[in-house]
A and B are shown apart, each in its own frame.
Chain A
């Protein structure tokens, strides 16, 4: 088995198309996970017990089932009840929901880490609930949790090949299709690994910088 550089250059444009979709899915999935996580974290603190419990169970359910199964449900089962989603949209929703239940825990810890005195000072200043969250609690809670959130986004990035199962033409799927066309696996699969490695390593550097920049808060 020998390495064929000509084949590499031939399939490179196709793979780069795949990388673009992989990155797009990761970015959109991360944004959705960040929003869903915040929503879950806030809902679980709700004074309405039904909301708090219901959302809690929902998050437990999502965390307790595999992402691949969820992707199949969103893409192949939802059409049975009339919800037909394009592959990338289904994939982003799957990633965002699944990782949202994890980022919710990060938000919870970040919010719990804001000292009680801050809530009390906000109340003594007569700030209402919304102002307390947006001006006092979240600005203090979010910066220290940015590294932990970024960690999940890197993990999500490495799980995007699962989207190939629901026909998203991301990197893994493109590599599989060229491999199946030419019956050569070594170059496409090596390149997939190399792409993921390079992007992961860059992300880790970014993560270190984020930890340095946001990891602590001065009081």
Chain B
């Protein structure tokens, strides 16, 4: 059995007096597709942000691809990670945001090529060739010269996916990537993610309220509540036969709100 690519061990994190993660532990296998579901404030987005090093942790350890994320091993001692270590670890991880966060002053092509050219010193021609492949993959090859403001939400999000992929991460984090989209634009983004899941062996972690998509997409579903994983299992187990009472009531509310499962 291969080693886990992500090992989260007893992570705690508070915002002021609000404990958003309460000794969270979880493991993710290489290539696994994981859906993180749960009520808002349950910590599912926070753990993604922690994996992307956008938040600091209060306690615990995280291993990514066999190395400590927030610590460095020096002479057998664990020290807090410095910026260089974090930068090296970030190469393994890409993230797509709820609000796209495209660089509005740069065209689609430059959004995708900027990071490879700056962080990996890829030559412009090579970066643009790779960007065109990625834009083609997300169905936006004809928008390479467009500015983000000229794109629809769904198109922006697909560019954001291409931008994250351009750095060839081993792990991709998707934080409610369809929540800000008009309903008719959701499917085009989900299609790209299905394609990505089918064509690559990347590890993918997905925070979502699209339960139907989570069911079809994920190998495993984690149900978060109050900073802990309350229940986890195969999509069918969680969605059809949830064992925990809190999972049941959450799914009931979601279905009542009109989300399909």
Beyond A124-B97, A218-B149, 5 additional pairs, beta carbon < 8 A = A115-B101, A118-B103, A121-B103, A124-B95, A217-B105
Contact A126 B119 (CB under 8 A): yes
Q: How many of B's residues come within 8 Å of A, CB to CB?
A: 27
Q: Is B198 an interface residue (CB 8 A)?
A: no
Q: Which one of B10-18, B86-94, B124-132, B201-209 is at the interface? A: B86-94
Residue A123 at the chain B interface, CB threshold 8 Å: yes
Q: How far is the CB of B196 from chain A (nearest CB, A)?
A: 17
Give B98's nearest chain A residue, CB to CB.
A117
In angstroms, Cα B93 to Cα A118, docked, is 17
Contact with A along B8-52 (1 / 0, CB 8 A): 000000000000000000000000000000000000000000001
Chain B 74-106 interface mask (CB, 8 Å, partner A; 1/0)? 000000000100010011011101010111110
CB pair B99 A135 closer than 8 Å: no
Q: Are A121 and B97 in contact (CB under 8 A)?
A: yes
* Contact between chains at A120 and B101 (CB < 8 Å): yes
Cross-chain contact A131 with B103 (CB below 8 angstroms) = no
The 4 closest A-B pairs by CB, nearest first: A121-B101, A125-B115, A218-B149, A117-B101
For B115, list chain A residues within 8 Å (CB).
125-127
> Chain A 136-158 against B: per-residue CB contact (8 Å), 1 yes, 0 no?
10011000000000000000000
Digitize A45-83: 1 where CB-to-B-CB distance is under 8 Å, 0 elsewhere: 000000000000000000000000000000000000000
Is B118 interfacial (CB-CB < 8 Å)? yes
**Are A135 and B97 in contact, CB atoms less than 8 angstroms apart?**
no
Q: Which residues of A contact B167 (CB under 8 A)?
A: 125-126
B103 touches A218 (CB 8 A): no
Selected from B54, B87, B104, B119, the residue in CB contact (under 8 A) with A140 is B104
What are 11 A-B pairs with beta-carbon distances under 8 A? A117-B97, A123-B53, A123-B90, A124-B94, A124-B95, A125-B163, A126-B91, A126-B167, A127-B115, A129-B83, A131-B118
Docked complex Cα distance between A118 and B99 (Å): 10
**Contact in complex: A125, B99 (CB < 8 Å):** no
Residue in chain B with minimal CB distance to A134: B118
For the complex, give the distance between the alpha carbons of A131 and B103 in Å: 13
B63 to chain A, nearest CB (A): 19
- B147: CB under 8 A from chain A? yes
Cα-based distance from A131 to B83 in the complex (angstroms) = 14
B62 on interface, CB distance cutoff 8 Å: no
- Asked whether any CB of chain B lies closer than 8 Å to the CB of A128, the reply is yes
CB-defined contacts of B148 to chain A, threshold 8 Å:
219
Given contacts A124-B164, A125-B114, contact A140 B105 (CB under 8 A): yes
Q: Mark B176-216, 1 if CB is under 8 A from A, else 0.
A: 00000000000000000000000000000000000000000
- Tell me the residues in window 131-181 of chain B with beta carbons closer than 8 Å to chain A beta carbons: 147-149, 163-164, 167
Which chain B positions have C-beta within 8 A of A136?
103
Distance between A99 CB and nearest chain B CB, rounded to angstroms:
27
Tell me how far the C-beta of A54 lies from the nearest C-beta in chain B, rounded to whole angstroms: 23
Contact residues of A between 168 and 198, Cβ < 8 Å to B = none
Residues of chain B within 8 A of A129, CB atoms compared? 83
A131 and B90 CA atoms in complex are apart in Å by 15
**Chain B contacts of A135 at CB under 8 A?**
103, 114, 118
Least Cβ–Cβ distance between B176 and chain A, in angstroms: 13
A212 to B53, CA, bound (A): 39
Instruction: Please tell me if the beta carbons of B103 and A126 are within 8 angstroms of each other in the complex.
Output: no
Instruction: Given A135-B114, A135-B118, verify A218-B147 contact (CB < 8 Å).
Output: yes
- Using CB atoms, name the residue of chain A closest to B88: A126
